[in-house]
Structure 1
């Protein structure tokens, strides 16, 4: 990929879907950070409040954004959490699963932010 995107992200997927369109990738990363990430935090509240209907709705809407932002390795884990929510799994299990996913996601957030800012300048 000529854009030299950080290889922590799925650069093969990003290249296949967006090519070298820096403005589109910037918009995708920016949307993940400004829209999807706050909804991700809202998911925790729904799980903590045992509002599984709301949690299922939130996570279902979030699934595509992980793939679109090049976080393809997290998508299957997000799908696992969605299945657990829809099967009314124990709250503590859902909380642990959410924390595990957050622990995987959090180190990538600065990379998405840096890449979004860099791509906005191209």
Structure 2
């Protein structure tokens, strides 16, 4: 099988942690789509409910998931978002930041879905 490659993905990182084992990468992609993105959607609801502790906890929970599928550039972005939730930011600021990040997360989701379909 060929190496996984896309500008959004850190292919070198994926190779380092999975040794090129496409079956493990496939499992991680599936888990990311099924679990991590569901958690990402839960963050939106927590912002709507002004449950900022939950926003911070969920952000912290999913942060490594992005790296585990090669989306290493998201780590700092999710960390900054998590910090906002813990620094008494307003609901409006959190929602604006979430929606900005959400556009990028949706793009990353499409990339992962496409790569996953190519693996099957």
TM-score, normalised to structure 2, is 0.92
Question: Which residue matches 2:77?
Answer: 77
Question: Which residue matches 1:42?
Answer: 42
- Higher normalized contact order (CA 8 Å, seq sep 6+, divided by chain length): 1
Mapped partners of 1:112, 1:85: distance in 2 = 27
Question: Which residue matches 2:93?
Answer: 93
Identify unmatched segments of 5+ residues in structure 1.
none
Shift in Å, 1:82: 0.3
Shift in Å, 1:74: 1.2
Moved over 4 A (4+): none
Q: SS of 2:20's equivalent? A: coil
TM-score, normalised to structure 1, is 0.91
Shift in Å, 1:5: 2.7
In structure 2, the CA distance between the partners of 1:23 and 1:95, relative to structure 1 (3 Å rule), is: same
| Alignment map for 1:9-24 (pairs within 5 Å) | 9-24=9-24
Identify unmatched segments of 5+ residues in structure 2.
none
Aligned length: 120
